[in-house]
Amino acid sequence: MTALTREQLRRTDDPAGPPPAIDPERLEAFRARFGADQAAAMHLSTVVLGDQLGLYQALAAGGPQTGDVLAARTGYVPRLVLEWLRAQAVSGYCEHDPGTDRFWLTAEQQACLADDGGPAFVAGGTSTVSAIHRGVEQVAAAFRDEGQLTWGDHDPGLFSGVARGFQPAFETHLVGSWIPALDGIAARLRTGGRIADVACGFGGSSVLMAQGYPDATVAGFDQHDLSIAAARRAAAAAGVADRVTFEATDAEALPGGPYDLVTMLNALHEMGDPVGVCRRVREVLADGGQLMLVEPVAPDRLEDNHTPVGRSFLTASTMVCLPSALSQGGDRHLGAQAPDAAFAEVALDAGFSRCERVAETPLHRVLQLTP
């Protein structure tokens, strides 16, 4: 069955009753909302294209320029470059002078779209949206219980997009404010110590911690072989491969220890057995060690979550996080917008004595779990 029938959709409380009357003003307001969302979703494909082809960087470097000039700078087809520029202009992603037909980026647009690696850069994560759209049929099969959908089953653009999308926040906050917010951990790591980065992905967070605490050793773990290979390349490129190791393994079987710090960045909500994972972490923590969870910020109530962050992460949870968690079995699937109380319950059930929020940003919250 690919869709529900009208009969199946008929209200069960009054199966023979008439359909509710439609308010014309509310109808048009919703159609306008839908149209804006559809336009934004379509425009995002041009953002992925601009990031992939280096068009934003070329536009930023050249200042105000026509489509022909940008095409000459990049070597791309002039007519397509011009249409891409027009698409950016009408969406507010670049500026346009109708008198000269030149286009340019403001300082703010440049920071968000062209400054790869900068703290405000957002374009790197847009490939996650394209990857999610390409996975709709797989998710539909999971809804029908016709197959499991693991993290590794998704389009590869998801893996790189997640890594690039979260990296600016990690570079800004991980060593500078998140770890220092934990009780006594930063001081321990400055004189040595061992870190386990669970669900390390492409290894960006592991590398940052090795750079920020040069006397510590870091072990990154992820069940995804492709991500582990990328993480090893990242460590080698950063010159920290002598202090950072990576291993493909499930979080429930976390090896090694004792660790002074175990980190899970945007990860626990996607695990099928979060209690079992946290219990294993507790077993490998050193005396005085801590588990740090970084999770998308979320309110306690759904009615307080009508925000861009809520929309983004509840969508990601539906399409990626929960299908992945369900594929692992277990009976407690948190999702990407679980409130603090849900994580506290997991922590207590796993044997931790305390779970508290110790830091937050507009996008993330940091939870400290104390044995």
pLDDT in tens, 232-287: 999 999 999 999 999 999 999 999 999 999 999 999 999 999 999 999 999 999 99
Mean pLDDT of the chain: 94
CA 218, distance to chain mean position in Å, is: 22
Q: Using CA atoms, how far apart are residues 67 and 82, in angstroms rounded to an integer?
A: 5
In the prediction, which pLDDT does 54 show? 98
Tokens of 340: 């603090």
**Per-residue pLDDT tens over the stretch 330-354:** 889 999 999 999 999 999 999 999 9
In the prediction, which pLDDT does 58 show? 98
Q: Please tell me which of 143-152, 280-289, 326-335 the model is most confident about, judged by mean pLDDT.
A: 280-289
| 15-29, 52-66, 101-115, 150-164: the lowest-pLDDT one | 15-29
Closest CA to 364 of 325, 328, 337, 329: 337
User: Which percentage of the chain shows pLDDT scores above 70?
Assistant: 95
| Cβ neighbours of 142 (radius 10 Å) | 20
In the prediction, which pLDDT does 1 show? 42
In the prediction, which pLDDT does 331 show? 86
Phi, psi of 7 (to 5 degrees): -65, -40
Mean pLDDT of 185-210: 97
Tokens of 12: 């069960």
Q: Is the pLDDT of residue 174 over 90?
A: yes
User: Which percentage of the chain shows pLDDT scores above 90?
Assistant: 92
In the prediction, which pLDDT does 269 show? 97
Tokens of 32: 């306008």
pTM of structure: 0.89
Q: Which CATH number fits domain 25-112: 2.70.210.12, 3.40.50.720, 1.10.10.10, 1.25.40.10?
A: 1.10.10.10
**Per-residue pLDDT tens over the stretch 37-50:** 999 999 999 999 99
State the span(s) of the chain assigned CATH 1.10.10.10: 25-112
For domain 131-370, the CATH class is alpha beta
Give 172-179 contacts, CB < 8 A, sequence gap 24+.
172/119, 173/359, 173/361, 173/364, 174/205, 174/208, 174/209, 174/212, 174/265, 175/208, 175/209, 175/211, 175/212, 175/213, 177/359, 178/292, 178/294, 178/359, 178/366, 179/209, 179/212, 179/261, 179/292
In the prediction, which pLDDT does 7 show? 57
In the prediction, which pLDDT does 2 show? 52
Q: Is the pLDDT of residue 8 over 80?
A: no
State the span(s) of the chain assigned CATH 3.40.50.150: 131-370
Q: Is the pLDDT of residue 15 over 70?
A: no
